[in-house]
Every structure is written in C-alpha cells, then in structure tokens.
Chain A
Amino acid sequence: MNTQTKQRDNQARPGFITLCRSYFIRHIQVFFYSLGQLSRTPISSLMTCMVIGIAMALPTGLYSLLKNAQQLSGGWESTAQISVFLKNNITSAQAKKLKSDITQWPDVISVHYISREQALKEFQELSGFGNALTALNSNPLPSVLIVKPKLSKTSERATQRLLKKLVNLRQTDKAQLDMQWVRRLYAIMNIVERGVLILGALLGLAVLLVVGNTIRLAIQNRRKEIVVMKLIGGTDAFIRRPFLYTGFWYGFFGGIIAWLLVSFTLLSLSTPIEKLTTLYQNQFELTNMSFLTTLTLLCLSILLGLAGSWFAVGRHLRDIEPQ
C-alpha cells in the first residue's frame, strides 16, 4: 500500500524544473499582486509613500545643496590673496615702486595695485553708498596692493612667512590674508555635512519604522489568510514574500516621491540662486541631482523598505500559528 502511495506521489508532485519555473513565475505574480494590493487602498498607500518620500527627501535635498556649495567654493582656496593696505602718507609713485619691488620676490606671483581713487570709484559703484561718500571731504580709503602668493597646498607656512614680511614693511598699515573666511566656510561645510549624515541616518531609521509598522498592520489584517496558508503547508518564505514585496513597493514609490520633491525644489531654487550669484559677479548654475545620486536614493529607499518589512515579518509571522 505504501509503495502504491509513493508511486502516486511521484506522478502527482511537480518535477524540479516545474518547481523552478513555478518559483520564478510565483515571484513575478507576487511582485504585481502586492502592487495591486497597494492600489486597492490608494489613499493610505499614498500617505505611507509620502511619509517615506519626505523623510528621504530632506537629507537628499540638503546633500544636493551641500554638494552645490562645495562645488561653488571648490576653487576658492587657490584664490588666496594678501591685501596690503598702505599707510595714508604713501604717494602713488611710492606705492608703484613698492609694487614692482614686491613683484620681484620669489614667493609672489603677481601684485595688483589699487590706488585710493580707484578704490573709491569701485566702492561707489558697488556699495550703493556713492552719494554718502561725496559728502566726505577727503577720500577715507587707503591704497591697496593685492599680492598673489605662489601657492601649493603645502605652502601654508610659506604664505604665513610672506604675510609677516609684508606686515613688517615700513609702508604697510595693515596686511591680511583673505583666506581665513574660506577656511571657516570649509569648516562650517564639514559640520553641515556631518549634520546631514546624522539627519539622514535618523530619517532612514524613521523610514524603517514607518514601513515596519505599516507591514505589521498588514500582517494583522491578513491574519486569517496567514493561518490558512500555514494550515495547508505554506512555508514561511511563501507567506513572507508578499509582505516583502509590499515593503519593496513602499520603498520604491517613497524614493520616487523623494526624487520628485528634491528635483522640483532645486528647480524652483535655481532661478533665484542664479540671480544671487550674478549679483556676486559669479557664474553659477545650480546642478540638479546626478543620475548616480538618483540611483543611490532609489536603491537606499528600496533597501529601507525591504529591511523594514523584513523586521516586521520576522517579528510577527511566528506569532501567528493556527490554533
């Protein structure tokens, strides 16, 4: 009798190839089935995706802005220059003499002389205080030598030495290295970058929890179905699969929404920023997210969706056992 049963079993059970094909087809079916499940409750699905999208968009947007700022300021370190303000009693001829002297120095690339008159004219043009200045009897601005030091990244000390030399000149009133603020800006950007990372990690965790909680509710709603599946021999993997794909879809759509949010924000910012940079006599175009950034965003979002549902399913599926 037993051999008879076994024979019938052999005829009845699907073969290995059929099993593989069924497995693959099953994955595709569940892939779309879980999408269909989401579309059955469009509002709540959309809300979940929006939450994920916004949580992902915040760090992504900040990251994009930061990258733009870094790009904008990237060349600034090499533009270091020393402004040497000359004493008021130095005549134009003396200043020009000094200029040609300094140009001879080995650690100097070039020297640009701005006379007191030029300085005044520039100031009137650019500051908008032109009329106020005419009220003054004399020109309050000193003449300036702009000294460009020979620079490499390691020449920090050499530059400091040059600065000292310039300060000690008899004609110098004051000399300052116009690089301090660039350094400060870089330091600030480092802090901001760290902040964006932390914010990203926290919001990533939030996405994980949102997806986990949503999947937990889905599991509870489909408790009966899970029980029936277990009763008729569904493996844990089989029961888990639709929930994992649901998490996948949440992550996917959340990522798309985040991408849309960031793209539109950057797009709407680009015109005013262009205006601003023109005011600074600077050509700068806000670059939108690169393809790679977009891809990373989408993959991260999907990964978080999958991970969130994995945790929820792992925690709650075992609790549901047929009674």
Chain B
Amino acid sequence: MIRFVNASKRYDSGFDALQNVNFHMAPGEMAFLTGHSGAGKSSLLKLIALLERTSRGQVIVNNQNLSKVPRRRIPYFRRNIGIIFQDHQLLFDRTVYDNVALPLIIAGYSHHDIGKRVRASLDKVGLLSKEKKYPITLSGGEQQRVGIARAVVNKPPLILADEPTGNLDPELSAEIMGLFQDFSDVGVTVLVATHDIALISQLPYRVLTLKEGKLINDSQAN
C-alpha cells in the first residue's frame, strides 16, 4: 500500500527533513510512526498525502508512483486517503453533519447516499446524536472523532493520522486508537504518527521510529 524507496525530503531552506527512508506497508496493515518532534513524522505523512513532493527517491501509494501524479490529479488522489489532524481541521461555521458530508459532496455522491454514509460514519465514532451540533460546542475528543468520521466517510483504503491524540487524555486516546484498530480490522491501511510512546507500547502493532530524518528503527524488521 505504501512503499518508500530511498525517499528524501530537503526543504528550500536546506533543512533535510527526511533522508533515505525505506519501508513498506502492506494493505490492511496498521503501524505507528514515532520519534521526537522535528524528527520528520509530519514530513513523511505529507509525502504520502502529496502535500509535499520528495526531493530524491520514490514514494509509491496504492500502486501509484507519486512523482508521476500531476498537480491537477492530486485532488482525486487525496480522495483515497483519509487524513486526520491534531487540530481536527473542522469548519466551525458548519454543523457536524455538514463537516462529515464534505468529502462526499466533493466526490459528487447523491443526496440520498450522503445521508446514509454520514450517519453510518457518525454512528461508528459514536456521535450520531450530535449531527446537528456545531463543532465548537463539542469537547476536544468529540471534535477529533468528527475529524475521524470525516476521514473515513468515503471509505478510503488508507488512513493517515498526524498526532490524533496530541491534545487528549490517556482514556480518550485509547478510545481513538480503538477506532483505528477497528478500521484496520476491516482491511484499511492505517498509519498513525504519534510521540505517545506509553500508548503505543501497549499495542501489538508495528512501530517505525524516525530520528533526525532517518528511519532508525522498524519493529517489524527486528
């Protein structure tokens, strides 16, 4: 599903965010990406979502070589990835329902389908009763779950999460992780960037560790 081949990312400032990263994730696999802040976690996720392009090497996602995806195709490519952010990236002038429906509206689903899918997605994250609320009235954990519902509403084969539990207490964090496990169980590839070592050490998943832009540890390879 995801394959990095000698991928490097150097920013215009000359900063090497990633250097010669190699790894492969099979479809349906779940893994954690960890390391100190500034180690390159976010850069790695950005390369996968085509928010940035590699300086050298290749990234292949869903059998697509990302260096060959032209700019105008990027939106269509991103529709196959559910992205979850630490700061949720929700639109506060729209209801929970409208936020979750956005990817479906963009992809051109029919009104009927949108209703069904949004409710199924909200049901999955346990927020069905809050569909008419505005995100600002929800707690941090609930907002994050709205973000997750939006990321999975069009059933993408790949989910990326950047510090999804960054602002949450351990109990809520565990809940969120449980959701990711559920998605993984039904065949979705999940890559979660986090520095919450305590949380991931309890879970039986692969851990990729970055340090200063280099992949220094891959628990599966060990």
**A14-B113 in contact given A230-B75, A232-B79, A233-B107 (Cβ < 8 Å):** yes
Q: Which chain B residue has the least Cβ–Cβ distance from A13? A: B107
A224-235 interface bits toward B, Cβ cutoff 8 Å, 1 = contact, 0 = none: 110111111111
Does B221 sit at the interface, judged by CB under 8 A? Answer: no
B183 to chain A, nearest CB (A): 13
Binds B, one of A20-28, A109-117, A164-172: A20-28
> Please, how many angstroms separate the alpha-carbon atoms of A247 and B90 in the complex?
26
Q: Say whether chain A's binding surface is mostly helix, strand, loop, or mixed.
A: helix
Does A12 sit at the interface, judged by CB under 8 A? Answer: yes
Q: Say whether chain B's binding surface is mostly helix, strand, loop, or mixed.
A: loop
Q: Which chain A residue has the least Cβ–Cβ distance from B29? A: A1
- Are B78's CB and A231's CB within 8 A? yes
A95-138 interface bits toward B, Cβ cutoff 8 Å, 1 = contact, 0 = none: 00000000000000000000000000000000000000000000
Binds A, one of B32-40, B149-157, B171-179, B197-205: B149-157
- Are A233's CB and B108's CB within 8 A? no
Does B15 sit at the interface, judged by CB under 8 A? Answer: no
- Are B108's CB and A228's CB within 8 A? no
- Are A18's CB and B110's CB within 8 A? yes
B15-28 interface bits toward A, Cβ cutoff 8 Å, 1 = contact, 0 = none: 00000000000111
B94 to chain A, nearest CB (A): 9
Does B187 sit at the interface, judged by CB under 8 A? Answer: yes
- Are A1's CB and B27's CB within 8 A? yes
- Are B108's CB and A5's CB within 8 A? no
> Please, how many angstroms separate the alpha-carbon atoms of A23 and B51 in the complex?
26
**Contacting residues, chain A, for B91 (C-beta < 8 A):** 224-225, 228
> Please, how many angstroms separate the alpha-carbon atoms of A323 and B162 in the complex?
13
- Are B108's CB and A22's CB within 8 A? yes
With beta carbons under 8 angstroms apart, the residue of B79, B108, B111 that contacts A19 is B108
> Please, how many angstroms separate the alpha-carbon atoms of A19 and B109 in the complex?
7
Q: Which of B84-105 contact A (CB under 8 A)?
A: 89-91, 102-103, 105
**Contacting residues, chain A, for B103 (C-beta < 8 A):** 232-233
**Number of B interface residues in the complex (CB < 8 A):** 31
**Contacting residues, chain A, for B28 (C-beta < 8 A):** 1
- Are A26's CB and B187's CB within 8 A? no
- Are A232's CB and B27's CB within 8 A? no
Q: Which of A22-42 contact B (CB under 8 A)?
A: 22-23, 25-26
- Are B102's CB and A14's CB within 8 A? no
A51 to chain B, nearest CB (A): 27
Q: Which chain B residue has the least Cβ–Cβ distance from A232? A: B103
- Are B79's CB and A228's CB within 8 A? no
> Please, how many angstroms separate the alpha-carbon atoms of A177 and B130 in the complex?
89
- Are B109's CB and A228's CB within 8 A? no
> Please, how many angstroms separate the alpha-carbon atoms of A65 and B30 in the complex?
75
Does A154 sit at the interface, judged by CB under 8 A? Answer: no
**Contacting residues, chain A, for B108 (C-beta < 8 A):** 14, 18-19, 22-23, 26
- Are B110's CB and A5's CB within 8 A? no
Does A290 sit at the interface, judged by CB under 8 A? Answer: no
B44-59 interface bits toward A, Cβ cutoff 8 Å, 1 = contact, 0 = none: 0000010100000000
- Are A8's CB and B155's CB within 8 A? yes
**A12-B110 in contact given A225-B91, A232-B79, A233-B75 (Cβ < 8 Å):** no
> Please, how many angstroms separate the alpha-carbon atoms of A233 and B51 in the complex?
11
Does A311 sit at the interface, judged by CB under 8 A? Answer: no
Does A238 sit at the interface, judged by CB under 8 A? Answer: yes
- Are B109's CB and A232's CB within 8 A? no
Does A4 sit at the interface, judged by CB under 8 A? Answer: yes
- Are B75's CB and A227's CB within 8 A? no
- Are A1's CB and B106's CB within 8 A? no
B98 to chain A, nearest CB (A): 11
Does B68 sit at the interface, judged by CB under 8 A? Answer: no
Does A94 sit at the interface, judged by CB under 8 A? Answer: no
> Please, how many angstroms separate the alpha-carbon atoms of A22 and B51 in the complex?
27
**Contacting residues, chain B, for A74 (C-beta < 8 A):** none
B143 to chain A, nearest CB (A): 14
A318 to chain B, nearest CB (A): 9
- Are A18's CB and B109's CB within 8 A? yes
- Are B157's CB and A5's CB within 8 A? yes
Does A322 sit at the interface, judged by CB under 8 A? Answer: yes
> Please, how many angstroms separate the alpha-carbon atoms of A19 and B110 in the complex?
8
A9 to chain B, nearest CB (A): 8
- Are B110's CB and A21's CB within 8 A? yes
Does B137 sit at the interface, judged by CB under 8 A? Answer: no
B149 to chain A, nearest CB (A): 12
Does A2 sit at the interface, judged by CB under 8 A? Answer: yes
Does B63 sit at the interface, judged by CB under 8 A? Answer: yes
Chain B residues with a Cβ under 8 A of chain A: 26-28, 49, 51, 63, 72, 75-79, 83, 89-91, 102-103, 105-111, 113, 150, 154-155, 157, 187
Q: Which 3 A-B pairs rank lowest in CB-CB distance, beginning with the nearest? A: A233-B79, A22-B108, A233-B78
* A/B interface sample: 6 pairs, CB < 8 A: A18-B108, A228-B102, A233-B77, A234-B75, A235-B72, A235-B106
Given A8-B157, A14-B107, 6 new contacts (CB under 8 A): A5-B187, A13-B107, A18-B113, A228-B91, A231-B83, A234-B75
